Every structure is written in structure tokens, then in C-alpha cells.
A and B are shown apart, each in its own frame.
Chain A
């Protein structure tokens, strides 16, 4: 059979696609499909589990709660993002980078650490209540958590970047002259916002809002730890049907509903915006970007600044609070601590279970980075060389594990792997993390390959280099930053994960986040705060190391 000349020499497409493809089939498609099969009846086809979801009021209300909370979080995230994105677009570059950091930091902080910090801040004897009562604003503690407000706070906090980033891009694509034209025609600040800024930034907001909603319906940790019984969401229902009621078919039916909802959102998103938007940023622009001139801001502009400061404080508060707290010496969580010591760090490193969990987490993350970097890079190379016709389909399949709620993967893998005994070792959780982490490597390497000049490849091959030599000497050095970034993502994905670990580890194989989760769910021991700080530190070190390396590369 004749093959096109280009593909004839060098790297075969199948070699790139097959390994990750195989992993996806065995560790993603099979578990998810077995859940579907379970949901529709193992013996014969039945819809009884789905009927039960509608008929039993508790389950019906959980579905309603899930949609309601996801909707509220989306609205809150949009409202909080507007002032922040506006300010980011109109301040100097320094302040802008600072705000960007504020937005991205929660994103990069493990869900568990964030949640722990919020609990410390908001619980009835927590920091915020202490401040409120100390200043005489309230006399009795306000219940911020273990109710709806707790869930909304926790979820909005982490999902905001998905809206702030596209909104900021929309603001910076806005041209100053467009706004000035409206002003010159007689539009005041409110009209300018309503008739010009709002419609022109709406597509970015809608895109971001869909991603937030899609993410929110699958949330597990935050509602479990910061909500009350009234805020039970579908993911918790899946977990409790497996862990306490042992009703696998019904859990599978719930997972099916969640899966269908997520995939529908994804399809809508792809239909309206195209999936590239998830991966890449916006395009170029012509005129002077929207900014504030010497005339200064309108009162509305100043109000936005104040609002943005509040939002900024909201974003950063839980992350900065944990450091001083971890250095306190009393077992009671007070802020600021009465005296400082390293007691809790000593406690952490002096207790076998903590040290063992930390070691195991690092081990697992190391394995995950090694495996997913190979799989992801091969997959990216394969996709880059395949015919355009099927490329976008394969791309979508390869990033699916990022989009499907983690709880579905966790439950599916648990169902598949429980009989094998892998759950007791580190391999069960490692395999789960590989499925989650490889898409990140795939995306970063794919982006690096897109900016790699294909002519260099042909030049090297033309000079007589074999494909392997060309890859090692020409291509690899130029895509190395992409691979490194992917490795960082993979590390953090594994090191921060709780949900996979919750299902795929037991007392002998538990990871650091799982151990912390067990603690947070019962009572917060200050050692957990020390552990949180260690996690943040490791994350910052890994991110910073990567940043330094790429800086050095480019300069």
C-alpha cells in the first residue's frame, strides 16, 4: 500500500497514539462503560434506577440542589469577575501581574488545603467570627459554613479563574476608541457599560460560565466538607451509595446522569466556541486597548476598584492565613496565634503516619510524572503527524479525562480494580492519576509542537539525520519547555488529588491528601495546617523551579 511520502519516513502515527489510547480504553472507557452497563441493568435492560431518582424525593432534591448550586456559583463567579477583570485591564503591568497571581493561586492550591483554610477562617470560633465579634459588629457567631454559603464560598473561590481569564482577555481586546466613541455620542458610564462593554465581553463570560457550570456539577470535596445535609450534591450521593448503602447500580445510574450532563455541556461548548478555546488564548487586536485616560475613572470605576480589592482579599485570604496559623503553638486554632513555634511541623515529621503518607505521595507523583510525560508526549507527536480529518476528534478524546468529573473515574476504577488487589498498593492510585495527568502533558506538548517550525524538521531530515536523531537534536530541545510544563501539571495533579485516593487507597496505601481529608472531615488538628503549608510549599517550589528553568532557557 502506498503511504504519503511525509509519513513514510520517521515517526509512525500509531506509535504515538496507541500507548495513551490503550491506557484510555483500559483505564477510562472500560470503567466508565461498566458503570453505564451497571446503571441500565446487568441482567436485562431496565430504567428502574433512573425512575427511582425521580420518584424518591431525596434524590430528586439532590439533583435540584446540584443544578441550583452550580447555577448560583456560576452567577457569583461572573459577578465577582467583572470588577476584577476590569481593574486588571486598566491598571499598570505590576498591579496586573499581582492580580493575575491572586486569581491563579487558588487554582494551584490543593482543593483540600483551600477547604481546610476556609474552615479555619469561617467556622464558628474561626478568624472571621472572631474579627466580627471582636469589633462588636455581631454578638453571636455567624454560621458561614456547613450550609449553602459555605459551599458557595468554597466553590466560587476556586472556579473564578475560568471566568476572570476569558473576561480579562475580552477587556483587553476592547478598543479604547470604541468606548470613547460611545462617550462622544452622549453615553454616560452606565450606558457605556450596558450597551458597549457588556455585549462585547459577553461571549467570554458565557464561555467561562459554561466551563464553571460543567465543573461545578461534579464537585465533591467542597460540598462534602463545607456544606450541610441540605447541600448534598450528586457526587456525594454517588459516593455514599457506594460506601454506606453499597447500592452500586444506583450509584452507577447517578454517575450516568452526571456524565450525560457534563458531556452535553461540553458538546454545547464545542458547538458555540470550539474546543480550542479551552486550550488556547484569544487573537490579536488593532487599536489602543481599553484603559483609563488622564480624565480618571468614573464613580462606577472607583466602585469597581473597591469591589476588586474585596474580591482580591477573598481570593487570597485562605491561602495566606494558613502560614501564620501553622506556626502557632497552642492546639486551639486562634488567629493571630498567641505564640509562634514549629511544634506542628515537628509533630508532622515525628509521626509515622504523616511521614509515610508524604513519602508515598511523592513516590506516586514521581511515577505519575514519568509515565504521563512519556504517554502525553507520544500522543502529542502522534496527533501532530496524523491527517487533519480525525485530528480534532482524537484531541477531544485525549482531553476527556480532564473534563469528565473525577468522581466518575474514581468510582469506575474502583469498580474495575477492587477485585484485583491493586487498591491496597500504590499502583491503583498511580494508574488513576496517570489517566488524569496525561491530558495536561498532551496539551502542553501539543501547544509546543504547534509553535515548532516544521521546516526545521525537514531541514534536519534533509541533511541526512534519522528521525530519532532529528527528534533528539532538533525537536526535543525546542519542545522541552512544553514537556516540563506538562510534567509540572502532572505532578500537581497527582500530588493534590483527593478523590481518586479516596476510592483507590486504603489505610496501608493512603496518600497525604487522603490522610488530611480524614482529619478535616472529623476535627482539624493543627498538624493538618502544617501539612497544608508543606503542600503549598512543594507546589510553589515545583512551579517556581519550572518558571526559573524556562526563564533561563529564553534569556
Chain B
């Protein structure tokens, strides 16, 4: 199966939408390349679902436009947009078997019966559900239903595949195995994917690009590494992973906990400071040391060593970092 030729570029231009007095989208602009896996990440209520629904065409918007492959899709009804949609609750048709569910979109496209059957078989094999084709959705586990929903969206070879927290209802182990599966599928079919989640690890693992949303705006859109290592501002830095803000000469230095070193000799550190230990906790791969530095609470994640294990709460300790590891952020 090869959809990469069919995956289309999406360009969202200063989109605005309100629900009554709530500004759900406040001038969102985002360009998604053909075949890209783009994740919308953000806290609850930040507008992720709303953005996804406007791309799908389930909701209208007041300002801006959405171009798919350069064409404004605003006036196009949902049924003409050729999108694949995976809902958080899967939204399988409860009265149809797995096979009928998957075939539905192809029947809408009036394909020949033979071709429908072939394509359904092919996609069911892809998501490893061939044995379950004749079952009803309620006779499947959550993970299996999830894969049916995915197959149903993929089989129509959509221009864009939209997924709204598709793994939200699954337990952690299942989530991880389906994440792997998703990555494999995306590599295999190469569709343009817009994926919503509020799980950072999931976003980092899956995405080519992450758009971080807050209060109806996109705060920063970048590759996972770009977002983690070069956050545009304080909000991004502390939303994605943990971040220390060390006061220094009226300014603040932003640095991740794992970049801080603690102890007497600080190899490679060109910045050295002093603080007090407030807590030391073992976290498996190492220790998590909490420090007080001039009233600022800092966290450091360091490898296990006897020296660290011997640290006592309330004692002074030296810490430091490489100045190249400090992140350059706008102080808003």
C-alpha cells in the first residue's frame, strides 16, 4: 500500500474561531508538509480538538483559511474532503461488522465490489485483524477497536489522516505497542497525519513536528528536538519536560535537570554555583537532587554515585553546567 503520493500538504492561515465568548482558536497558522506526522500538543482546553475539527470540516471558523494542496477547503462539506478521521472513542458503527465498518468509506466512493473486498482484506492484514473481520465492534477489545478505526480511516487513502487522542482510552502497555504500530504504519503509508495528544512522551516519540498550543494559539512549532532543546519561551520550556530557571545578574538561565551536575568536581562544567540540598531521591536510572539556590528551587538528575548517595539534606553543595547547554529563551 502506498499513500505517500496521496498525502497532501495542509496550510492553515490565521484561523480564528469562538464559541460564544470563548476564543477557541486565536489566529492559528501552521504549515504541514505532505507526508508529515504533525502533532498538536497542549493542555486541556487549549484548542487542539477545535483545530482538528475545523480541518475535518465538522466546525466552521470565522476568520482565516485552510488550504489543502493549495485549495481552500472552507466551503467543502466534510463528505467531499477525503479525510480519514480516528476519534478518541473510535466511533465505530455499532450495527456493522468490522468488515462492513472498514468497507463503508469505499462503498461511499462507489468502488466495484471486488476492489472493495481486496482493499478491505489488505488493510485488515496491515492492522493484523484479518481473523476478526466478521465480529461486531462490541465483541472486540479496546485495542482491537482502535485498530479497526485506524483501518477504516486508512483504507480510503485519505489526503489527511486526523487523529484526536486515539490512544487516550488505552492502558499504558497497549498505548506503547500501538505507538510502535502507528510509527510503522506511518513509515509504510506515508500519509499526512495531524495527531492530537496531551501526552508529551507520545508526541516526542511519534512526531516529525510538534505544534504546542496554548489558549487557542500555537506557541511554537518545531521538530521534537528543536522544541525540547530550543524552546522559544518559558512556557514551552516548562511544558515540554522540566526546566530550571537560575537567577543570574538580573537575568534567568534556563537549563534542563539532566544537564545539571552536582558534586565536588564538576567535569566539563564552565559554570559553577553553590546551593543547599533540599531532597535526594533515587529514581532508578540515577538520583534526583533538589537544590535551593538563592531562593530558587532547582532539580538535577544525576547518575548514581556514592558521593551523591551520601548527600544530606541541608548541607551546602556545589553544582554546575556547560554554558552551551543553557537555553536561550525569551523571558515571557
Contact = CB atoms under 8 A, between A and B. Distances in A.
Contacts of B58: 180, 183, 293, 295
Contacts of A296: 60
A184 B59 contact: no
Contacts of B85: 180-181, 184
Interface in B29-48: none
A56 interface: no
Contacts of A196: 93
A185 B83 CA distance: 7
B60 A294 contact: yes
B152 A185 contact: yes
Interface string B84-98: 110111011111000
A350 interface: no
B75 to A, nearest CB: 11
Interface stretch (A4-12, A37-45, A186-194, A333-341): A186-194
Contacts of A186: 79-80, 82, 105, 108-109, 156
Interface in A179-214: 180-188, 191, 195-196, 199-200
B153 to A, nearest CB: 8
A421 interface: no
Interface in A275-308: 286-287, 293-296
A397 B47 CA distance: 56
Contacts of B57: 295
A185 B89 contact: no
B254 interface: no
A178 B78 CA distance: 14
B95 A199 contact: yes
A181 B87 contact: yes
Interface in B54-92: 56-60, 77-85, 87-89, 91-92
Contact of B108 (A185, A200, A294): A185
A191 B56 CA distance: 19
Contacts of A287: 89, 91
B287 interface: no
A293 B95 CA distance: 24
B91 A181 contact: yes
A200 B137 CA distance: 14
A175, A183, A295 interface centre (most CB from chain B within 10 Å): A183
A187 B108 contact: yes
Nearest to A183: B78
A510 B328 CA distance: 95
B109 A184 contact: no
B91 A185 contact: no
Interface in B234-281: none
Nearest to B17: A294
A180 B82 CA distance: 13
A295 B108 contact: no
B104 interface: yes
B204 to A, nearest CB: 27
Contact of B78 (A184, A199, A286): A184
B12 to A, nearest CB: 17
Interface residues of A, number: 23
A184 B94 contact: no
A177 interface: yes
B95 A200 contact: yes
Contact of A295 (B60, B88, B91, B153): B60
Contacts of A286: 89
Contact of B89 (A175, A182, A183): A175
Contacts of B94: 178, 200
B59 A177 contact: no
A295 B53 CA distance: 11
A195 B60 CA distance: 25
A196 B104 CA distance: 11
Contacts of A182: 93, 104
Interface in A517-535: none
Interface string A241-267: 000000000000000000000000000
Contacts of B77: 183, 188
A186 B104 CA distance: 9
Nearest to B54: A294
A549 B82 CA distance: 56
B8 to A, nearest CB: 15
Contacts of A199: 95
B40 to A, nearest CB: 17
Nearest to A174: B94
Contacts of B79: 183-188
Nearest to A202: B95
Contact of B59 (A191, A195, A200, A294): A294
Given A293-B59, A295-B58, A295-B60, A181 B108 contact: no
A294 B61 CA distance: 8
Contacts of B53: 293
Nearest to B83: A184
A296 B77 CA distance: 11
Interface string A87-114: 0000000000000000000000000000
A191 B162 CA distance: 22
A184, A195, A295 interface centre (most CB from chain B within 10 Å): A184
B93 A184 contact: no
Contacts of B80: 186
Nearest to B84: A184
Nearest to A180: B58
Nearest to B62: A294
Interface in B148-166: 152-153, 156, 162
B134 to A, nearest CB: 18
A120 B104 CA distance: 52
Contacts of A293: 53, 58-59
Given A180-B87, A184-B83, A184-B85, A295 B59 contact: yes
Given A178-B92, A186-B105, A294-B17, 6 more contacts: A180-B91, A181-B85, A181-B87, A184-B81, A185-B108, A199-B95
Interface of A: 175, 177-178, 180-188, 191, 195-196, 199-200, 286-287, 293-296
30 contacts: A175-B89, A175-B91, A177-B89, A178-B91, A178-B92, A180-B56, A180-B58, A180-B91, A181-B85, A181-B91, A181-B152, A184-B78, A184-B79, A184-B83, A184-B85, A185-B152, A185-B156, A186-B79, A186-B109, A187-B79, A188-B79, A199-B95, A287-B91, A293-B53, A293-B59, A294-B17, A294-B59, A294-B60, A295-B60, A296-B60
Top 8 nearest A-B pairs (CB, nearest first) are: A186-B108, A185-B105, A177-B91, A184-B85, A181-B91, A183-B78, A177-B87, A294-B60
